[in-house]
């Protein structure tokens, strides 16, 4: 059924139907209510395509998801943030399109195609990497765009709401600086140092330790998966079996892998090895032992990022900004001295 058909059926013009359903002040309340009731009775809903074509709005927002996972469940932080974002957008009556380029061959990228075909009103990105071409596209088109969580590497992205990487490391470094025995090794287990993010966390970790006269003793590299963290720890078992350690891990998922490994090795947590992760994924507080971690305030990031995006879609102009959020060390069961 179309608005024209409905109009005919209930004895008004198509314009009136349109005005009633769009809550226009140009028609009387009586007619408005009448039309709305009849529309509801007939189960009528306006055609979204035709509407979008006219008003140049789709009511849909695209969420750019990282491409480097085998599965959504590989890094729960992204899944968690995705969920928060989605919830926030839906609450504000937007639909959500997942923009996830699995790398199928195509001349034009998914982002570019969706942007240029006007399938969405704007994008919110969880991707720590953006290609130069994509960035140019976004900036040139002045397309509503907001980036969350991890700063895209190598380029300055406008409207970023995310984490202060170095600060994360400092939080962990300070804790171990004050709360581990002088003889314990300070170890950083992380993804490759070619990543800005990893490098900055290491830098911060070092700084935090240094404030207390300590330093980073070892760096252990793994991939971005729990299994890889597990394997890396197992491979370095001598390190963990020979002495006490203070282990700062790039994130919680990798920490879970490390914990599995230490359990396998029979290393007591936190008595022999203390562990601090990053993120505070929901799971962190319901695994055993509960994970001590540097919590990233994603809820705030998400709500402010979404708000900004929606305002941009409404036509409001924003000077490009970078918003960094402070993190908080949350002490649970993988660290000792829980009252410092």
Partner DNA sequence: TACACTTATGCATACGTATGCATAAGTTTG
Partner DNA sequence: CAAACTTATGCATACGTATGCATAAGTGTA
- Asked if 185 is part of the footprint of DNA (rule: CB under 7 A), the reply reads no
Compute the distance between CA of residue 112 and CA of residue 135 in angstroms, rounded to an integer: 10
Region from 8-16, 88-96, 183-191, 255-263 binding DNA, contact rule CB under 7 A: 8-16
Region from 80-88, 158-166, 268-276, 309-317 binding its own copies, contact rule CB under 8 A: 80-88
- Asked if 94 is part of the footprint of its own copies (rule: CB under 8 A), the reply reads no
- Asked if 34 is part of the footprint of its own copies (rule: CB under 8 A), the reply reads no
Helix (H, G, I), strand (E, B) or coil at 65: coil
Residue 163 near residue 149 (C-beta atoms within 8 A): yes
98 vs 241, beta carbon nearer its own copies: 98
Residue 60 near residue 98 (C-beta atoms within 8 A): no
Please give the structure tokens belonging to residue 85: 């974002």
Q: Which does 21 bind (CB under 5 to 8 A by kind): DNA, its own copies, none?
A: DNA
Compute the distance between CA of residue 75 and CA of residue 210 in angstroms, rounded to an integer: 31
Residue 207 near residue 235 (C-beta atoms within 8 A): no
Q: Which does 14 bind (CB under 5 to 8 A by kind): DNA, its own copies, none?
A: DNA
Q: Which does 186 bind (CB under 5 to 8 A by kind): its own copies, DNA, none?
A: none
Other CB atoms within a 10 A radius of the CB of residue 228 amount to 15
- Asked if 105 is part of the footprint of its own copies (rule: CB under 8 A), the reply reads no
Residue 65 near residue 97 (C-beta atoms within 8 A): no
The site map against its own copies for 271-300 (x = CB under 8 A) is: ----------xxx--xxx------------
Q: Which does 337 bind (CB under 5 to 8 A by kind): DNA, its own copies, none?
A: none
Compute the distance between CA of residue 340 and CA of residue 331 in angstroms, rounded to an integer: 9
- Asked if 12 is part of the footprint of DNA (rule: CB under 7 A), the reply reads yes
User: Which residues in the 15-44 window bind DNA by CB under 7 A?
Assistant: 15-16, 18-19, 21-22, 24, 26-31
CB neighbour list of residue 240: distance below 8 Å, 6 or more residues apart: 233, 262, 265, 267, 272, 273
Q: Is 253 left (phi over 0), alpha (psi -120 to 50) or beta?
A: alpha
Residues that bind its own copies (CB under 8 A): 40, 43-53, 58, 60, 70-74, 76, 79-80, 82-83, 86-87, 90-91, 95-102, 104, 107-108, 110, 112-114, 116-119, 226-227, 230, 257, 260, 263-264, 281-283, 286-288
């Amino acid at each position: 059924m179309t608005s024209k058909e409905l109009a005919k059926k209930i004895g008004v013009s198509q314009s009136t139907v349109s005005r009633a359903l769009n809550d226009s002040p140009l028609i009387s309340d009586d007619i408005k209510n009448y039309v709305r009731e009849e529309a509801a009775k007939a189960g009528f809903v306006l055609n979204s395509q035709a509407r979008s074509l006219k008003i140049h709005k789709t009511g849909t927002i695209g969420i750019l998801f990282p491409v480097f996972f085998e599965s959504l469940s590989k890094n729960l932080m992204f899944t968690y943030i995705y969920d928060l974002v989605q919830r926030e957008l839906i609450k504000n009556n937007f639909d959500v399109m997942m923009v996830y380029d699995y790398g199928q061959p195509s001349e034009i990228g998914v982002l570019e195609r969706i942007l240029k075909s006007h399938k969405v009103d704007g994008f919110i990105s969880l991707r720590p990497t953006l290609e130069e071409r994509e960035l140019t596209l976004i900036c040139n088109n002045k397309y509503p765009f907001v980036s969350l969580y991890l700063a895209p590497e190598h380029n300055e992205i406008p409207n970023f709401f995310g984490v202060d990487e170095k600060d994360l490391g400092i939080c962990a470094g300070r804790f171990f600086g004050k709360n581990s025995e002088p003889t314990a090794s300070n170890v950083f287990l992380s993804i490759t140092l070619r990543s800005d993010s990893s490098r900055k966390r290491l830098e911060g970790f070092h700084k935090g330790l240094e404030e207390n006269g300590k330093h980073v003793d070892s760096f252990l590299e793994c991939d971005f998966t729990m299994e890889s963290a597990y394997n890396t720890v197992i491979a370095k078992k001598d390190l963990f079996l020979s002495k006490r350690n203070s282990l700062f891990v790039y994130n919680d998922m990798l920490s879970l892998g490390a914990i599995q490994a230490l359990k396998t090795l029979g290393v007591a947590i936190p008595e022999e090895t203390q562990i601090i992760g990053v993120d505070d994924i929901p799971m962190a507080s319901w695994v055993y032992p509960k994970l001590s971690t540097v919590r990233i305030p994603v809820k705030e990031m998400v709500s402010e990022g979404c708000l900004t995006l929606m305002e941009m879609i409404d036509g409001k102009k924003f000077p490009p900004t970078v918003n960094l959020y402070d993190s908080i060390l949350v002490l649970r069961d993988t660290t000792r001295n829980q009252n410092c």
